[in-house]
């Protein structure tokens, strides 16, 4: 069983923000694989289904981005899912808009959602599907930037990146990390 978490902020006023690309990715994943309707479980929305023969649980923490760790950890503990079977979709300021990267383990890179996940999982060896949203240029602009919707060209590039990540996901799930990483890292926005 795999846990696939999207990071974002709950509520319609945040729905189209750059910070919510993780939610967008798992919503699209649920649609693509015919997963169950979203239902409330504790501080999260969850859905379940299959990718190939592997059972998956999708999670959208409803506790806001900076408090994503505990809801993800609680669901992982309940289902006895190891950190290395967790995939987290999230926005990445340090990547150009629409660029993708995959990372397993390591630090949180200053991302507050990942920082909280690090505090609540017993190991940082979970997988991150980093979706580039670009950087506004100055640190003081970051908060406003991530909490706004991307422009048309940026939105198209981000949507295309999500599709590429979801195309590669079955390879990750089946254990073919090398081929999946090649697809993701080879994507050019």
CA distance 165 to 86: 15
Domains present along the chain, CATH in parentheses: 2-186 (3.40.50.1470)
Range with the poorest average pLDDT among 39-53, 80-94, 104-118, 128-142? 104-118
* 112-126 mean pLDDT: 93
* 22-45 mean pLDDT: 96
pLDDT band at 110 (very low <50, low <70, confident <90, very high): confident
Relative orientation angle of helices 152-174 and 21-32, to the nearest 10 degrees: 60
Q: Is residue 108's pLDDT more than 90?
A: no
Contacts of 153 (CB under 8 A, 6+ apart): none
CA distance 89 to 133: 13
CA distance 99 to 157: 8
In 15-146, where does DSSP find H-type helix? Answer: 21-32, 69-78, 112-120, 142-146
CA distance 111 to 132: 13
Q: What is the reported pTM?
A: 0.95
Q: Are 33 and 82 in contact (CB under 8 A)?
A: no
Contacts of 132 (CB under 8 A, 6+ apart): 92, 94, 95, 96, 97, 98, 99, 100, 101, 158, 161, 189
Q: Is residue 162's pLDDT more than 90?
A: yes
Q: Is residue 179's pLDDT more than 90?
A: yes
List the catalytic residue out of 19, 90, 111, 127: 19
* 179-187 mean pLDDT: 91
Please count the other Cβ atoms lying within 10 Å of the Cβ belonging to residue 142. 14
> What is the sign of the dihedral through the CA atoms of 110, 114, 120 and 126?
negative
Active site residue 19: yes
pLDDT band at 9 (very low <50, low <70, confident <90, very high): very high
């Amino acid at each position: 069983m795999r846990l696939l978490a999207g990071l974002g902020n709950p509520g319609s006023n945040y729905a189209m923000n750059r910070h919510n690309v993780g939610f967008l990715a798992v919503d699209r994943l649920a649609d693509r694989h015919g997963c169950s309707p979203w239902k409330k479980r504790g501080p999260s929305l969850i859905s379940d289904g299959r990718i190939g023969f592997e059972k998956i649980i999708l999670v959208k923490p409803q506790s806001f981005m900076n408090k994503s760790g505990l809801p993800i950890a609680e669901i992982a503990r309940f289902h006895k899912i190891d950190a290395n079977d967790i995939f987290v979709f999230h926005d990445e300021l340090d990547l150009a808009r629409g660029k993708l990267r995959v990372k397993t383990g390591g630090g949180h890179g200053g991302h507050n959602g990942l920082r909280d996940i690090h505090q609540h999982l017993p190991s940082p060896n979970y997988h991150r599907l980093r979706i580039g949203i670009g950087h506004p240029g100055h640190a003081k602009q970051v908060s406003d930037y991530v909490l706004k919707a991307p422009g048309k060209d940026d939105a198209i590039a981000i949507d295309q990146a999500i599709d590429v990540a979801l195309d590669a996901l079955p390879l990750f799930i089946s254990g073919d990390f090398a081929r999946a990483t090649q697809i993701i890292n080879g994507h050019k926005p």
